[in-house]
Amino acid sequence: MGRPCSVKRRKQKKGKFGYHINRRSLNKGMKSKVAANINCDPVRNAWDKTMPAQKNLNNMGLVYSLKELKPKSTAKQIESSNLHEQPSEETAKKNKCKNKAAPSNEVIDTLEKQAVKKRVNTFRFPKEYVRLIHYFMDKYGEDFKAMSKDPKNYYQETPKQIENMIKKFKSIPEQYATYLRERGLLNKKLIKSQS
């Protein structure tokens, strides 16, 4: 017998070309939408819609492809190359001509400022973990092996995992301060740190 209808229709549809679609205007529309899809504000603001992506990024001082990225030479390599060879006047002129269009550093500066901003640690342990950590610290102090063998260690965490969990707990000031306040240790810790 013949093939099922759906397979035959699929084959026929595959070979069709959409003559009613204007590809030129479709591509122009795609080019204008490129800047709208950029998530980084400084890059989106500096984007020029009339230029291709590679030129845009080069003008901003960014690299389009990692292949273009060259390793930075160290100071020793520069000194040794300067001692052995003095650049001729022609090469110096060529280098000046190439470097005329220096990239603007505004985008790079804003990106660096955003990267430097400290991120606020918003991590908090759930109540169940806080209770478990309180129990372990009250009962065992700093003995992580004993903590791992305790029957309340439901998740069967290793001594190292428990140690890291307690370090993380101590790095969260809100939760650790409440633990110290409840035990009356907060004032003693402050006195020791001041002296």
What's the total number of domains in the chain?
1
Largest CA distance in the chain: 95
Inside any domain, residue 115: no
Inside any domain, residue 116: no
Inside any domain, residue 25: no
Phi-psi region of 141 (alpha: psi -120 to 50; beta: other; left: phi over 0): left
Distance (Å, whole) CA 80 – CA 71 = 17
Res. 101 pLDDT band, cuts 50 70 90: very low
Inside any domain, residue 168: yes
Distance (Å, whole) CA 114 – CA 59 = 20
* Domain ranges, residue 180: 127-194
Inside any domain, residue 188: yes
- The pLDDT of residue 106 is 85
Inside any domain, residue 65: no
Average pLDDT over residues 19-31: 75
Res. 131 pLDDT band, cuts 50 70 90: very high
Q: Is the pLDDT of residue 5 over 90?
A: no
Inside any domain, residue 134: yes
Res. 99 pLDDT band, cuts 50 70 90: very low
User: Against a cut of 0.85, is the pTM above it?
Assistant: no
